Amino acid sequence: MSTRRRTLLKVIVLGDSGVGKTSLMNQYVHKKFSQQYKATIGADFVTKELLIDDRLVTLQIWDTAGQERFQSLGVAFYRGADCCVLVYDVNVMRSFDTLDNWHEEFLKQATPSDPRTFPFILLGNKIDIDGGNSRVVSEKKAKDWCASKGNIPYFETSAKEDYNVDPAFLSIAKIALANEREQDIYFQGIPEAASESEQRGGCAC
The binder of ligand GDP chosen from 8, 18, 48, 80 (CB under 6 A): 18
Is 22 near Mg ion (CB under 5 A)?
A: yes
Interacting partner of 126 out of ligand GDP, Mg ion, none (Cβ under 5 to 8 A depending on kind) = ligand GDP
Is 128 near ligand GDP (CB under 6 A)?
A: yes
Report the residue number, 77 or 118, with the smaller CB distance to Mg ion.
Answer: 77
Only segment of 76-84, 107-115, 123-131, 193-201 that touches ligand GDP (CB under 6 A):
123-131
Size of the site for ligand GDP (CB under 6 A): 18
Show the binding pattern over residues 68-107: x = contacts ligand GDP (CB under 6 A), - = does not. ----------------------------------------
Interacting partner of 179 out of Mg ion, ligand GDP, none (Cβ under 5 to 8 A depending on kind) = none
Is 21 near ligand GDP (CB under 6 A)?
A: yes
CA distance 164 to 151: 19
- Which single residue brings its beta carbon nearest to ligand GDP? 20
Contact positions with ligand GDP (CB under 6 A) in 142-181: 158-160
Contacts of 190 (CB under 8 A, 6+ apart): 199
DSSP 71: T
Contacts of 146 (CB under 8 A, 6+ apart): 122, 152, 153, 154
What would the DSSP string read from start to end of 77-146? Answer: HHTT-SEEEEEEETT-HHHHHTHHHHHHHHHHHH--S-TTT--EEEEEE-TTGGGGTT--S-HHHHHHHH
Length of the chain: 205
Do β-strands 45-52 and 55-62 pair in parallel, antiparallel, or remain unpaired?
antiparallel
CA distance 16 to 72: 13
Contact residues toward ligand GDP (CB under 6 A) are 17-23, 34-35, 37, 40, 125-126, 128-129, 158-160
Contact residues toward Mg ion (CB under 5 A) are 21-22, 40
